[in-house]
Amino acid sequence: MPTFASIADRDAVEAEMPWEARERATTMYDFLSRAKAAHGARPALSFQITSGPKDRAETLTWAQLHARVTQVANLLRKLGVGETDTVAYLLPNCLETAVTLLAGSVAGIVNPVNPLLEAEQIAAILRETKTKVLVTLKSFPKSDIAQKAAEAVKHAPNVQTVLEIDLNRYLSPPKSLIVPFIRPKTPLKHHADVFNFNTEAAKMPGDKLMFADSAGDRVAAYFHTGGTTGMPKVAQHKYSGMIYNGWLGGKLLFDESDVMICPLPLFHVFAAYPILMSAIDAGAHVVLPTPAGYRGEGVFDNFWKLVERWQVTFLITVPTAIAALMQRKVDADISSLRTAISGSAPLPVELYNRFKEATGVEICEGYGLTEATCLVAVNPVDGHKKVGSVGIPLPYTHVRILRKTNGAFIECDVDEVGEICVANPGVFEGSTYTEADKNHDLFAEDRFLRTGDLGRIDPDGYLWITGRAKDLIIRGGHNIDPAEIEEALLIHPAVAFAGAIGQPDSFAGELPCVYVELIAGATVSSEELAAHAKRHIHERAAIPKHIEVMDELPKTAVGKIFKPDLRKRAITRVLDAALAEAGIPAHVVSVVEDKKRGLVAQIATTGTVDDDALKHKLGEFTVAWDWAK
């Protein structure tokens, strides 16, 4: 396996293994067929519906996975899905979810949809992508996915067929016998035909496709952006970008002996590409614990025992999950574990330190985005890690830090902050989104995707993210559009202005927070506004955790709300509260803008302070801090 520990190693990989010239898979079916040929009898995917370390699990070998994907691809083609038709899935994690992801991209264009969205948003995505077939759950206890799917299909007339997966097949008696009696009532009626996914797939041949595979590269997936409010934008992914993500993992990180535990959802690019596609390239084994992953009942409590059960070598995670794991004792033999890979949101330094101390395992932080078919940069597994950075741009990924001046893009100097712009095989130049107008001004020099993230590249080539130009709130890896929160508050008759931001949180990274200015003479309490917000914001993740009424919101010369001042205010409030709760006699005296680090909290003491305790507490947040001068 090539070494990837520095920029020089990255360049060497490019020289030794040319992406365009190498003999590589060109379609998803070709990609999967190569894994079957190389690793047929080895385990590919394992799933357990409950979290106990001795609970029943089901495993597919690479040969079995290939056969299942072939059957489902044949079924989808029989149902009228061609290469330009869309197969959506609204599913939690299970073996059928991975099969649908792969088979949908073989037969047509696969469209994973977040089941945490509201039915209205799901329907909008189904309409935007012109979904022909929807794969979802049969009604199941403690799940509202079937009900959401039925309601969404009612408002998506393009959906012709619904294929249902019954999770009851994974349960053993007595639970499997009880489910039919407590299963929620049949969802609302709609116009689409409904069939059992596994029953219909079993009728299809699994040894060969009943249709010709694609001739070459094409759009094979639609992934909606992570927005949990409003209508998410839909990004287009080609075979080349999907396979590129797998090629990176297979060549630089994993081999056939590795076991990855992935409690992240397969509707998200992190799990779908860097994990599943890398497993295909490497022949590695992916373990999916419970349908809800980290949200599953007992997953955190049993997690280390699951690592021992499956002899996990790579832990796939996000900062919120790491924070939860650090509240549990390491109560199992985890000596097989080599590395944890974290993404989706910034990793606080203190959380990194606590995890390494508790487990002896390094965390490698990475950076990717839906619009680039995920991977952009990663801290080298075997090289120097700069905690707080997102590491080195990966082979064949060209990252530039640009600023736009008088309509022209100017390259920033080393350590100068600008917009992160990316070109790599995962970037669909010119047509990232399905809606043409969403691609306007999305590219620099017609090639480099403007990510909307602000950052810098240091003298060693490491990428640092310092903020966001596009003003999103990132809660545990989910993107929330502040405009949706502001619009909900602005319909209250007493509210004149509203400014929503992400306030720091030691668990979720950020939580939505909103500041409001009332119309002249109006009075309303924060509690009343909170109740109003709860009624008018349909997505639970977007409901603000803090609402504050101000005499006047800070504004620019042209009357726009000046959000940096609101962020400073929120940082001060949150960090002061955390220090006070911990009994540390210190407080934030100011928050200043630093050209390299973004907003930095200036800390002063009011008594004798245990430096380690203060560093530990402030290290739980991703906010930079310094002692006040």
**Where residue 483 sits, what CATH number does that domain have?**
3.30.300.30
**Element containing residue 401 per DSSP (H, E):** strand 398-405
| 11 confidence band (pLDDT: 50, 70, 90) | confident
Q: With 60 as the cut, is the pLDDT of residue 107 above it?
A: yes
Same domain (yes/no): 553, 415? no
Q: How many helices (H) and strands (E) does the chain have?
A: 18, 30
DSSP for residue 387: B
How confident is the model over 593-616, as a mean pLDDT? 88
**Number of domains within the chain:** 3
Task: For residue 14, give the CATH number of its domain.
Answer: 3.40.50.12780
The two beta strands, 408-411 and 392-393, are: unpaired
- Residue 449 in domain: no
Same domain (yes/no): 392, 403? yes
Tokens of 181: 């009696």
Same domain (yes/no): 624, 548? no
User: Last residue of some domain: 559, 584, 609?
Assistant: 559
- Residue 358 in domain: yes
What's the pLDDT at 408? 87
Same domain (yes/no): 342, 414? yes
| 557 confidence band (pLDDT: 50, 70, 90) | low
What's the pLDDT at 156? 96
**Overall pTM surpassing 0.85 (yes/no):** no
- Residue 466 in domain: no
Same domain (yes/no): 155, 121? yes
- Rounded CA-CA distance 71/204 in Å is 5
How confident is the model over 378-398, as a mean pLDDT? 89
Same domain (yes/no): 531, 578? no
Same domain (yes/no): 73, 191? yes
- Rounded CA-CA distance 569/590 in Å is 9
User: Last residue of some domain: 536, 559, 582?
Assistant: 559
User: Last residue of some domain: 559, 586, 610?
Assistant: 559
Write down the residue that tokens 């035909």 correspond to: 193
- Residue 454 in domain: no
What's the pLDDT at 4? 79
Q: With 70 as the cut, is the pLDDT of residue 1 above it?
A: no
**Element containing residue 588 per DSSP (H, E):** strand 586-594
| 482 confidence band (pLDDT: 50, 70, 90) | confident
Q: Which residue has the higher pLDDT, 367 or 1?
A: 367
What's the pLDDT at 227? 47
What's the Cα-to-Cα distance from 419 to each of 136, 164, 562, rounded to whole Å?
Answer: 39, 43, 19
Highest mean pLDDT among 43-47, 187-191, 404-408, 624-628: 43-47
Task: For residue 588, give the CATH number of its domain.
Answer: 3.30.300
What's the Cα-to-Cα distance from 271 to each of 294, 350, 355, 440, rounded to whole Å?
Answer: 13, 25, 21, 29
- Residue 32 in domain: yes
What's the Cα-to-Cα distance from 37 to each of 42, 62, 74, 244, rounded to whole Å?
Answer: 11, 9, 20, 20
Alpha helices in 253-345 (DSSP H): 269-270, 278-282, 299-310, 319-325
The DSSP string of 473-496 is EEETTEEE-HHHHHHHHHTSTTEE
Same domain (yes/no): 364, 435? yes
Q: With 90 as the cut, is the pLDDT of residue 406 above it?
A: no
Q: With 70 as the cut, is the pLDDT of residue 480 above it?
A: yes
Percent of the chain with pLDDT over 70: 96
Render pLDDT for 410-433 as a digit per residue (tens, 0 to 9).
999 999 888 999 999 999 988 889
> Which of 425, 61, 23 lies closest to 243 in space, CA to CA?
425
Please, what is the end-to-end C-alpha distance for the chain in angstroms? Answer: 49
- Rounded CA-CA distance 461/3 in Å is 17
Q: With 70 as the cut, is the pLDDT of residue 230 above it?
A: no
The two beta strands, 109-112 and 161-165, are: unpaired
Q: Residue 174: is the preceding peptide bond cis (ω within 30°)?
A: yes
Question: What is the amino acid identity at position 141?
Answer: P
- Residue 462 in domain: no
Residues 86/76, Cβ–Cβ less than 8 Å: no
How confident is the model over 246-251, as a mean pLDDT? 92
- Residue 451 in domain: no
| Domain range for 538 | 471-559
| 556 confidence band (pLDDT: 50, 70, 90) | low
Question: What is the amino acid identity at position 54?
Answer: K
Same domain (yes/no): 201, 79? yes
Q: Is 41 helix (H, G, I), strand (E, B) or coil?
A: coil
Same domain (yes/no): 606, 549? no
Range with the lowest mean pLDDT among 225-239, 436-450, 575-589?
A: 225-239
- Rounded CA-CA distance 621/407 in Å is 36
What does the mean pLDDT of the chain come to?
Answer: 91
- Rounded CA-CA distance 467/273 in Å is 25
Render pLDDT for 135-193 as a digit per residue (tens, 0 to 9).
999 999 989 999 999 999 999 999 999 999 999 999 999 999 999 999 988 766 899 99
- Rounded CA-CA distance 283/259 in Å is 10
Buried b (16+ CB within 10 A) or exposed e, 486-507: bbbbeebebbebbbbbbbbbbb
Tokens of 458: 């240091």
- Rounded CA-CA distance 448/335 in Å is 42
Q: Is 236 helix (H, G, I), strand (E, B) or coil?
A: strand
Same domain (yes/no): 598, 554? no
- Residue 457 in domain: no
Same domain (yes/no): 518, 572? no
How confident is the model over 45-69, as a mean pLDDT? 97
Instruction: State the Cα torsion 130-134-140-142 to the nearest 10°.
Output: -30
